Structure 1
Amino acid sequence: MNQQKIAVTVSRIEQLSPTIKMFEFMARDTELAPFTAGSHVAVHMDDAGLRRAYSLISDPAGTGHYRISVLRDENSKGGSAYMHDKVAVGDVLHLSPAQNFFPLVHDTTCKHVLVAGGIGITPFLSYLYELEQEGMDFELHYCFRNGANAAYVEQLRQRIGDRLFVYDNAQGQQLSVERLVQQQNQNTHLYVCGPQPLINAVIEHGNVHLGEQQVHFENFGEIASGGNSFEVHFQRSGFSLEVGQDMSILQAIENDKRIAIECLCRNGVCGTCETVILEGEADHRDHYLDEGERTAQKSMMICVSRAKGNRLVLDL
């Protein structure tokens, strides 16, 4: 895992809606590197002991600045509240280098259907640059609870016109994922980012109608990791913790603060928190390991996966 940090200055903040802010960063010491559509950066909130990943929404080919958008989550565990309440123009922050676990498939012979829910619109804002540059066939379906709190709707209408389909739940507009997927040709690439129920629906119908290779997804935000409580013993550190019914192993570690863990996605996608299992069996809930790796029970993603029994021993 690349531990390098990039020093940036907060050059601009824009309130996009009552709950969403845009943050623009400019490099202090070096030029910002180009990135690929769908990439994210981790923002280090050092004085709060936090690090959170946010999708880059700016032009992937640009090196003048990076931009992210942050939803103030009513259930925030500190990250979004910090960004909204503590960060101001002129502040110096540190970012981890851009990484991409949700890349665009560069195939000009296929149609690309993007499905966004709420703040899940953010990775697709960088997609648009590459889709348009390469002349690919695409459409964007954007769902949100209330148009008053949604971001980028008017900008998207002006930019992509009739390729944008908007569903405002407050106006009684609902996306039928099943119907949308069934309307697509077999070579369509289907992408989704947003709340877990939307992701699950797109995966379910997409896998049946298009096949797993055509369905691409990114969870945005931390997935709940509920289940029976259990004990985790950290072999190298020499202590144990109780993981409660409504928390993840990662959250238990962060609350305790004796072990530092790298985790960018917090939803079992990126693989940065993969940990070796020394004893016990994991209840795997990630989207990173394949079936063979899960069956082998050699490692687990501690941000989402739990114990099958009452105890795990991990190599931490």
Structure 2
Amino acid sequence: MAIDTPAAELLVAGKTPVSDGVVTLTLTRPDGGRLPDWAPGAHLDLVLPNGLTRQYSLCGDRWDARSYRIGVLREPAGRGGSAFVHDELEIGDVVGLGGPRNNFRLVPAERYLFVAGGIGITPLLPMIAQAEMLGTAWRLLYGGRTRSSMAFLDELGAYGDKVTLRPQDEHGLLDLDAWLPASPGGTRVYCCGPGALLDAVERRCAGWPPGRLRTERFVAPAQDGTTAGTSFEVELRRSGRTLTVTRDQSLLRALGDAGVPVLSSCRQGLCGTCETTVLDGVPDHRDSLLDETERAAGDCMFVCVSRSSGPRLVLDL
């Protein structure tokens, strides 16, 4: 998967195992200079020396202006990115950077409940640090296959009983009914982890007001077979052009075929790179980023996966 924009270069300044199957990378500018600022929930595109691009959540100290930290899980069934990081990437190598960008922002709340599964702990670490710094009440429910596979336990140990660890081989699946009340009250829940965990949390919180649950997925959810596209027209307001998107084309591909550049990376509706402003029409949102309120607003869409609910869209392109 190639990223459609030139990336800045970063130096791999550190590589550290933090659990069975997880390493962290410390990334700096080759000249030691300042890196772009970021906020909890942000991720970056890592362009590897073998040409692959992967998205990773920033999980270090947001106040450290000269280094980034990411955590990388070895995925035996993956497409080669994590294997390259674990087996071939070395300290001193140079990688490309896209971003950072943030579609999983921490918003103010009376209290937070963080729910992590496996490597899903990575975007939550800076959120926990932020809540702690602000003096906001929070708890973390963290599950994994085994205790030895769960990363960052030493760091989390500093937070005492605010952190509940539930390795599956010791406790079974996470008891979501005990942790997620029928009504959220003043709590906001942030959840990241495997698709099965996110699906279960979303079902448990289905009756909650919009915005009380925020999730981030690493893999797009399976489609249910009802998402076959129909053709539609797209007016590009700034360029004064109108395109037809056929039923077997993505909007992103139609734009690219017409010579209209739109930055993209994941092409699964996960990373947010291809966000585009909608001026008129009703998008058919198929991403894993927007919440229900944002979908209802209809003023933006991710053109890599989303389409039109009607015969015509007008985009700010």
Normalising by structure 1, what TM-score?
A: 0.75
Alignment-mate amino acid for residue 95 of structure 1: L
Alignment-mate amino acid for residue 219 of structure 1: R
1:39 to 34, 39, 42: 42
Q: Map of 1:106-255 to 2, 5 A cutoff?
A: 106-107=108-109, 110-156=110-156, 158-182=157-181, 185-209=184-208, 211-225=209-223, 227=225
**Residue aligning to 2:60:** 58
- SS state at 1:93 partner: strand
Q: Map of 1:279-298 to 2, 5 A cutoff?
A: 284-286=285-287, 287-288=289-290, 290-291=295-296, 293=298
Share of identical aligned residues, percent?
Answer: 29
Q: Which runs of 4+ in 1 moved over 6 A?
A: 228-233, 235-238, 240-243
Select between 179-188 and 221-230 the one with higher mean Cα deviation: 221-230
Q: How far 1:123 sits from its partner (Å)?
A: 0.4
Deviations 1:204-231 (A, max 9, x none): 333414x112111111244445748889
Q: Compared with structure 1, are the counterparts of its residues 80 and 230 closer, same or farther at alpha carbon in structure 2 (3 Å cutoff)?
A: farther
**Residue aligning to 1:256:** none
**Residue aligning to 2:70:** 68
Deviations 1:260-282 (A, max 9, x none): 974445542444335899xxx99
**Using the alignment, how far apart are the partners of 1:83 and 1:237 within structure 2?**
40
Deviations 1:101-140 (A, max 9, x none): 1111234xx0110011111100011112211211111001
The Cα RMSD (Å) is 4.1
- SS state at 1:203 partner: helix
**Using the alignment, how far apart are the partners of 2:172 and 2:104 within structure 1?**
27
**Using the alignment, how far apart are the partners of 1:20 and 1:263 within structure 2?**
27
**Residue aligning to 2:81:** 79
Q: How far 1:190 sits from its partner (Å)?
A: 0.9
**Using the alignment, how far apart are the partners of 1:51 and 1:217 within structure 2?**
22
| Equivalences, count | 295
- SS state at 2:47 partner: strand
Q: Compared with structure 1, are the counterparts of its residues 306 and 225 closer, same or farther at alpha carbon in structure 2 (3 Å cutoff)?
A: farther
- SS state at 1:57 partner: coil
**Using the alignment, how far apart are the partners of 1:174 and 1:184 within structure 2?**
22
**Residue aligning to 2:312:** none
Q: Verify the 8 A CA contact 1:8 1:94 in the aligned structure 2.
A: yes
**Residue aligning to 1:312:** none
Q: Verify the 8 A CA contact 1:23 1:69 in the aligned structure 2.
A: yes
Name the structure with the higher helix share: 1
**Using the alignment, how far apart are the partners of 1:284 and 1:35 within structure 2?**
26
Alignment-mate amino acid for residue 290 of structure 1: R
Q: Verify the 8 A CA contact 1:225 1:306 in the aligned structure 2.
A: no
2:7 to 5, 22, 25: 5
Is there any run of 5+ residues in structure 2 with no aligned partner, and where? 235-241, 255-259, 310-314
**Residue aligning to 2:269:** 268
Normalising by structure 2, what TM-score?
A: 0.75
Q: Compared with structure 1, are the counterparts of its residues 293 and 103 closer, same or farther at alpha carbon in structure 2 (3 Å cutoff)?
A: closer
Q: Verify the 8 A CA contact 1:116 1:193 in the aligned structure 2.
A: yes
Q: How far 1:52 sits from its partner (Å)?
A: 1.4
**Using the alignment, how far apart are the partners of 2:40 and 2:229 within structure 1?**
39
Q: How far 1:40 sits from its partner (Å)?
A: 0.9
Q: How far 1:69 sits from its partner (Å)?
A: 0.3
Q: Compared with structure 1, are the counterparts of its residues 87 and 307 closer, same or farther at alpha carbon in structure 2 (3 Å cutoff)?
A: farther
**Using the alignment, how far apart are the partners of 1:150 and 1:106 within structure 2?**
28
Q: How far 1:56 sits from its partner (Å)?
A: 0.6
Alignment-mate amino acid for residue 268 of structure 1: G
